[in-house]
């Protein structure tokens, strides 16, 4: 029946929009999922800022920074060295718990079989003429056999529900983490693939507003059952998604040694994004320089490569 409820917790397949958390964000106050509104048609190729809107409160409760902060947190949580070690340790502990449960069931089966065997010997040794005692011993024997069958069914169910343990090693997991970083940062990785990656690790995000602190409060529910709280500054009315001053200063220095294409690569490798939370491209660096009146890179006349000090 829950599948027929409009506000169910099923988030569906990822769509083509730019908002990576579409379908995953829920309002803490009303419990409804938050819808995504794009400021321009999503069929255009330019990056479009998206906001998440609570229909009940009829107010904007999140912004593109929500997408960036949540997905950045998910990537850090997955690929940090500490997270990798924790994943290996968690798998080892889970395998140990599975073994402990099965060992306990095997001990129960051994005890039940012993009881059934003893009940049979008692029944077999009784005088058949003593019908009352024979009937009681036969009943005990049957109950003991039923107990053995129940435990064997539980062992079979446990084995069926337990998949083969994966042989995780820190080397393999580290390689997978490096692959994840490369895939996420690749220019060919579109929003739909990133959404699929996010949905592997995030079950949902519960959003609220702390009016006193003027912050957006996000509670990330991870697939493994752990919760993480993030707090983001709430954008004031009329405030634009401007690029940070540190990035502007960095571009002013980088134009001394690199062209726009190289600058975009340097910014992306350092995890820096535009004010709208987008990856840097040559066109965006060019537009950024033009807006802030930053001169273009010019190679030295003598052919020597300049360097930053």
| Mean pLDDT, residues 177-193 | 75
| Confidence bin at 289 (pLDDT 50/70/90) | very high
User: How is the beta sheet containing 35-38 ordered, strand by strand?
Assistant: 35-38, 50-54, 59-62
Listed in sequence order, the DSSP H helices in the chain are 64-79, 81-125, 131-161, 170-185, 191-201, 245-254, 260-269, 282-291
Predicted model pTM: 0.47
pLDDT at 45: 27
Please give the residue that has the higher pLDDT: either 88 or 128. 128
**39, 48 in Cβ contact below 8 A?**
yes
Of 66, 6, 60, nearest in space to 32 by CA = 6
Q: Which residues contact 80 (CB under 8 A, 6 or more apart)?
A: none
* pLDDT for 59 beyond 50: no
Using DSSP's 3-state secondary structure scheme, residue 258 falls into coil
pLDDT of residue 202: 83
Residue where the block lists tokens 């446990």: 158
Residue 6: pLDDT band by 50, 70, 90 thresholds?
A: very low
The pLDDT of residue 126 is: 84
48 vs 38, residue with greater confidence: 38
Judged against a pLDDT cut of 50, whether residue 62 lies above it is answered with: no
- Taking residue 238's Cβ as centre, other Cβ atoms within 10 Å add up to 5
**Confidence at residue 116, expressed as pLDDT on a 0 to 100 scale:** 92
Q: Which long-range contacts (CB under 8 A, 24 or more apart) does 238-247 make?
A: 240/275, 241/49, 241/63, 241/64, 241/65, 241/274, 241/275, 241/276, 241/277, 242/275, 243/274, 243/275, 243/288, 244/275, 247/272
pLDDT at residue 286 in the model: 93
**Contact criterion met (CB below 8 Å) for 67 and 48:** no
Name the H helices within 29-80. 64-79
Judge whether residue 144 has pLDDT over 90.
yes
Looking at every residue in the chain, the average pLDDT score rounds to 74
Beta bridge partners of 51: 37
């Amino acid at each position: 029946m829950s599948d027929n409820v409009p506000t169910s917790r099923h988030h569906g397949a990822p769509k083509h929009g730019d908002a990576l958390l579409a379908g995953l964000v829920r309002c803490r106050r009303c419990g409804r999922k938050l819808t995504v509104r794009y400021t321009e048609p999503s069929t255009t190729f330019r990056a479009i800022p998206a906001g998440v809107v609570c229909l009940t409160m009829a107010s904007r409760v999140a912004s593109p920074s929500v997408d960036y902060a949540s997905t950045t947190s998910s990537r850090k949580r997955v690929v940090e060295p500490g997270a990798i070690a924790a994943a290996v340790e968690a798998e080892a502990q889970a395998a140990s718990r599975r073994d402990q449960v099965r060992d306990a069931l095997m001990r129960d089966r051994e005890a039940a079989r012993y009881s059934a065997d003893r009940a049979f010997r008692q029944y077999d040794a009784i005088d058949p003429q003593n019908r009352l005692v024979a009937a009681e011993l036969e009943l005990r024997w049957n109950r003991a056999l039923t107990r053995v069958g129940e435990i064997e069914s539980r062992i079979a169910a446990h084995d069926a529900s337990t998949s083969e343990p994966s042989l995780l090693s820190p080397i393999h997991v580290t390689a997978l983490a490096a692959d994840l970083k490369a895939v996420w940062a690749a220019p060919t990785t579109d929003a739909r693939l990133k959404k699929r990656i996010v949905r592997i690790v995030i079950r949902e995000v519960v959003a609220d507003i702390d009016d006193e602190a003027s912050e957006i409060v996000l509670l990330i529910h991870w697939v493994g059952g752990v919760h993480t709280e993030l707090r983001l500054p709430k954008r004031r009315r009329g405030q634009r998604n401007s690029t940070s001053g540190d990035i502007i200063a960095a571009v002013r220095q980088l134009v001394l040694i690199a062209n726009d294409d190289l600058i975009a690569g340097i910014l992306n490798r350092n995890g820096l994004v535009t004010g709208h939370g987008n990856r840097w491209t040559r066109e965006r660096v060019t537009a950024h320089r033009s807006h802030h009146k930053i001169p273009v890179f010019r190679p030295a006349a003598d052919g020597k490569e300049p360097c930053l000090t």
